[in-house]
Structure 1
Amino acid sequence: MRIVVLGAGVVGVSSAWYLARAGHDVTVVERQPTAGMETSFANGGQISVCHAEPWAGPKAPWKILQWLGEEDAPLLFRLKADWAQWRWGLRFLLECTPERARKNLQDLVRLGLYSRDALQALRAETGIQYDALTRGILHYYTDEAEFAAAVRAAALMREVGLDREIRNPAECMQIEPALAHSRRPIVGGTYTGSDESGDAMKFTQALAEKCREAGVRFLYDTDILGLAREGDRIGGVVVEPLAPERERQVLSADAVLVSMGSYSPLLLRPLGITLDVYPAKGYSATIPVREGDTAPSVAMTDDGSKIVFSRLGNRLRVAGTAEMNGYNLELNPVRCRALIERTREIFPLAGDFDAAEFWTGLRPSTPSNLPFIGRAGRFENLWLNTGHGTLGWTEACGSGKAVAELIDGRRPEVDFPFL
């Protein structure tokens, strides 16, 4: 089949790889000059099945109310006259029951495990390099109540096959000696030795090159204007290059796969499809690590501050927080400063903080944290692979492999609520 993939982030490129491997004629359309330049560009860098706890849970509404008005809050709602934001928020509340939260966690862990296996197989096959580390991920805690909640969550994750084990403070420091310099006492942690880290942008661009070698066509610097509807089918994709001539054209396709992250709902709305994906603006700081600095070499998660740390070669990536503020991409200096202050508090000798580079990107979040993977409504040849929120890098390979199998008419091996 002729398949057009919309979006060249980590999810879109992974999908293109598996579709090409299945023998399809694949074209990827991307508005940026190359792959991995938006949400995949400077994210947290973790393949973190252990981080698959959905945001929506019994305690979430109260935490959000406590954080309202706090400019550096881990999850900040900037309430707007935007029906999409309010609808998303209402559906988020429906997902906060204990039963829904438990079911969503189980589904996320299953998809994460499946995806991590797919990434490891892809890496072994292609040999691509992206500053990968396979030293696991350690969640550490500086608050006793948060640690107690983590112990309960870890037990649920072990029930569905994830090796998230409890560790005392001494064991945490044995796993990552840089914690010994923390200015806040570490009260405990949970460790998932099978999780990984790596640079999502480097991975995406390296895999895009492998796709190109396999015959995938990439149309960069090209705007996606809409989908050409023909009854209950999509006949093609209306695109326009960003070059001076700007000649609009329609790319005909047997199937179209939408992997445009937070922008997916905007493309689908004219077709009468309402997709509960809303942008959650995340922040990151990339700190140079110099010779003699004491930066963590194991990927870390600070659950209390909702911040992750990943060692990417001679860089330390610090990322986290979520700001529900529509499609705004302005860097908020307060939230940038909060990343650096927390890093200085836990890892005061980690690197050259004054040379940190800041970035923000829009994570395509759903109320349940479950991505939309599968056929889009009544359109028989329109497919979705979007809405992965903070877990796009974690779930990319598994989602791409699964959607390729669905398009081929096969059922993926993973137990997941596909569309």
Structure 2
Amino acid sequence: MNEILDIAKLAKEATGELVALKSETKNKILRAVSAEILAKKEQIKAANEIDIKNGEASGLSVALLDRLRLSDARIEAMANGLLEVADFADPIGEILDGWRHKNGMQITKTRVPLGVIGMIYESRPNVSIDAAALALKSSNAIILRGSASAINSNKFLVNLFNEAGSKAGLVKNAVQLVQSTDRSVVEQMIKMHEFIDVLIPRGGKNLKEFIIKNATIPVVETGSGVCQIFIDESTNINEAVNIVKNAKTQRPSVCNAVECVLVHENITDKFIPALIKELSEVELRLDDEIYTKFMNEKNVVKAKDTDFGAEFLDLILVVKRVKNTTDAIRYINEHSSGHSDAILSQNYANIELFLNSVNSAVVYANASTRFSDGGEFGFGGEIGISTQKLHARGPMGVRELTTYKYVVRGNGQIRG
């Protein structure tokens, strides 16, 4: 038996029924799954605890264990996200544009599903529910391939989705989980262009690079988060420190956490002491010029060249001095992963220059990068945060899982 081949074939077969599924049925399914998640919260945590203990035994980092853990709050967020998605307007069949040809034909541009989505992701088991919900709402079949570290959580959640969903009208094989954790399955899956329409990898740099280099299927690049915050000389110091603290410490293991702070050279002597004091639990890796002034502080080390442009996913923050806004923009565009970057400033001209010039999916003025999230953007969750430019960019919700086709209605026209 070839597990992934069988799954891919079944997913492709399911797409015909999915596109015909009524909005009322899709919403009923989502609400049924939401209720079941809350009803089985303790069983979900029990399955997740097996993964947590296995992860601890295998030496997973604190950051990865945090990404793996399903707390009461995270389980409730999954359930609430399903209800939000259920309340969205159904995108399928939406008329995007329309006009009449000079020969009388009516041409309409209509939103349709992508087809079969291959989702390859690491750690975070809540992705299983978020991705399944968004795929269903957009009438796509989805193949989920999580990491070995979350296999017990993923199995329970996908089984729950299918069991609760089937009672409410879920199409068979619309949501499938790859049970095998062997790497060879991924190698096979990313070349199944005859069955899978798009791949969405969500995980570490090595996973994404491997898929991008080897896939024969279109790939939406997501999630690598080298996020930067620029502290302009006109900023409010206390507000800036609070924003940086939130962006770094509220949940350091996620892709929208800040990894580098750029400080205008005119305020380093004011800002750095406040940062050191407020982020006492964070290892601050300072560039050469700043380090010489603050080297005796206990949470300070000298930054290495490899720290600039690195994604730490931990309580580590690199700090660099820059000359001005233009210098900050140049650095960010050279080192950013294209995820989320921010300016903290009271200078309107500098803010507008930054927002217009930084080449990232999400840019902020005077706010934390932690808001780069499908739930926070009102999408009811996300299937990933796209860092590329084609098709979709930023948090990907229901609409980003669709494409379009042209429907032409005539009455006997032929081309002369």
- TM-score interval (norm. to shorter): under 0.3
**Structure with the higher helix share, 1 or 2:** 2
TM-score (norm 1): 0.27
TM-score (norm 2): 0.27
**Structure with the higher strand share, 1 or 2:** 1
Q: Which has the higher contact order (CA 8 A, sep 6+)?
A: 1
Higher CA-based Rg: 2
